[in-house]
Amino acid sequence: MAEEAHGAEEGAPAEGEKKSKLPLILAMVLGPIVLTGIVFAALYFTGLGAKIFSKGDHKPAAAEAHAPTEVSYLEIKELLINLTKSTKKSRATPFLRLSLKLELPNAEALKTAELLRPRLIDAFQVYLRQLRTEDLEGGAGLQRLREELLKQANSVLAPLKVSNILFDQMLVQ
């Protein structure tokens, strides 16, 4: 009798209590389905699925749209501009030395831009003369300068489209 009571206490369920197998069955059925969904979602959102399941010779449409067939560069050498003083008390006048290149779509656009170079330099100098040293600080300042010079270049070279401004040299002192 003592042995029967001892066996019942060790973990064997009593006769009246039956363990339900429903959680085990649900885990076995739903587990692989949920895991498969997680794997496919990860492949989709990381972009790996497109690389894995696509054929190797296909380029994405975005890369084809931005790949220029022919590019020319108009070089603007060494602009030296006095910047606006940030305070009246400062004695030294800050200056900016800048060399850059304009990215144009083709050689024909480069020839037209060469003819309009004096207007382009004038537009750049008028804009740059208004700047203070604080305007050029950090990466955000450089990005704002790039965007504004791009606007100036596109307005001067109106029928042409300048796609990018590349800085060769930039010194603020």
- The per-residue pLDDT for range 69-112, each reduced to its tens digit, is 789 999 999 999 998 887 777 678 888 999 999 999 989 999 99
CA 85 from centre of chain: 33
Q: Are 23 and 31 contacting, i.e. CB atoms less than 8 angstroms apart?
A: no
How deeply is 149 buried, as exposed, middle or buried, from its count of CB atoms within 10 A (0-12, 13-18, 19+)?
A: buried
**Mean pLDDT calculated for residue range 11-24:** 69
Q: Please, which pLDDT band fits residue 4 given cuts at 50, 70 and 90?
A: low
The listed range with the strongest mean pLDDT (1-10, 131-140, 149-158) is 149-158
CATH 3.30.479.30 maps onto the chain at 68-172
Q: In a 3-state reduction of DSSP, which class is residue 166?
A: strand
Question: Residue 145 pLDDT more than 80?
Answer: yes
- Residues 146, 167: contact at Cβ < 8 Å? yes
CA dihedral 55, 58, 61, 67 (to 10 degrees): 150
Q: Give me the helix-helix angle, 117-129 and 107-115, nearest 10°.
A: 70
15 pLDDT higher than 60: no
pLDDT of the residue at 163: 92
Looking at the chain, list the stretches that DSSP marks H as alpha helix, in order from N- to C-terminal side. 2-9, 22-46, 48-53, 61-66, 107-115, 117-129, 138-156
Nearest alpha-carbon partner for 104 in 77, 128, 68:
68
Higher pLDDT, 18 or 102: 102
| CATH superfamily ID and name for 68-172 | Band 7 domain (3.30.479.30)
Is the pLDDT score of 11 beyond 70? no
Q: Which residues contact 117 (CB under 8 A, 6 or more apart)?
A: 74, 76
Quote the tokens at residue 27.
């885990």
How does strand 95-104 pair with strand 72-82? antiparallel
Question: What does the pLDDT look like over 22-81, one tens digit per residue?
Answer: 888 888 999 999 999 898 888 888 877 777 777 655 555 555 555 557 899 999 999 999
Q: Report the pLDDT value the prediction gives residue 100, as an integer from 0 to 100.
A: 94
Which of 148, 150, 157, 149 is CA-nearest to residue 119? 157
**pTM (predicted TM-score):** 0.58
More confident residue, 56 or 118: 118
User: Long-range contact list for 31-38, CB < 8 A, 24+ apart?
Assistant: none
